[in-house]
């Protein structure tokens, strides 16, 4: 908490990411997941683009939007070949044959789905700015 206050008082603009609300600096924003790349068993890094709420209760691409290609879903961080967050045993005998955990924004038939998440900008242990979100993955396939 003290580090946040110190950062705010010193005006270090590299620590917080500006949102679409004028005058507010926040470490979170809305992002549409636009793609994924496997980084291991049941884990992905995600491509994204910043979006804003529109006046029709939907989302619109933000002009001059930020984009990225290495966001992590913290719900996937402890996934293994047999268990995935948030509590699915994909190795169980009653897990449907032909199904698997899907990356965010992708259906079993490879259809891309516009999924919007609350993305957080935070520093990793080396000080690099990283993008993370948390969302349980869907499971899909053929029966």
Chain segment 104-139, per-residue pLDDT in tens? 999 888 889 999 999 999 989 999 989 999 999 999
pLDDT confidence of 3, banded at 50, 70, 90?
Answer: low
The residues spanned by each domain of the chain are 26-135
Chain segment 66-104, per-residue pLDDT in tens? 999 999 999 999 999 999 998 999 999 999 999 999 999
Using a 10 angstrom Cβ sphere, with 0-12 exposed, 13-18 middle and 19 or more buried, the burial of residue 49 is middle
pTM over 0.85: no
- Pairwise CA distance, residues 90 & 48, whole Å: 27
pLDDT above 90 for 47: yes
Q: Choose among 128, 124, 114: nearest CA to 31.
A: 114
State the pLDDT at residue 1.
Answer: 65
């Amino acid at each position: 908490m003290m580090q946040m206050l110190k950062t705010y008082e010193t005006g270090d603009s590299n620590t917080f990411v500006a949102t679409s609300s004028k005058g507010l600096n926040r470490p979170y924003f809305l992002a549409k997941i636009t793609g994924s790349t496997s980084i291991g068993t049941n884990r992905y890094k995600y491509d994204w683009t910043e979006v804003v709420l529109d006046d029709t209760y939907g989302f619109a691409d933000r002009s001059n939007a930020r984009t990225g290609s290495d966001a992590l879903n913290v719900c996937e961080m402890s996934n293994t070949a047999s268990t995935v967050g948030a509590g699915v045993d994909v190795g169980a005998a009653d897990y449907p044959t032909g199904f698997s955990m899907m990356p965010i924004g992708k259906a079993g038939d490879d259809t891309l789905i516009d999924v919007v998440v609350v993305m957080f900008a935070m520093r990793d242990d080396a000080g690099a700015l990283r993008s993370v979100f948390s969302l349980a993955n869907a499971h899909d396939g053929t029966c």
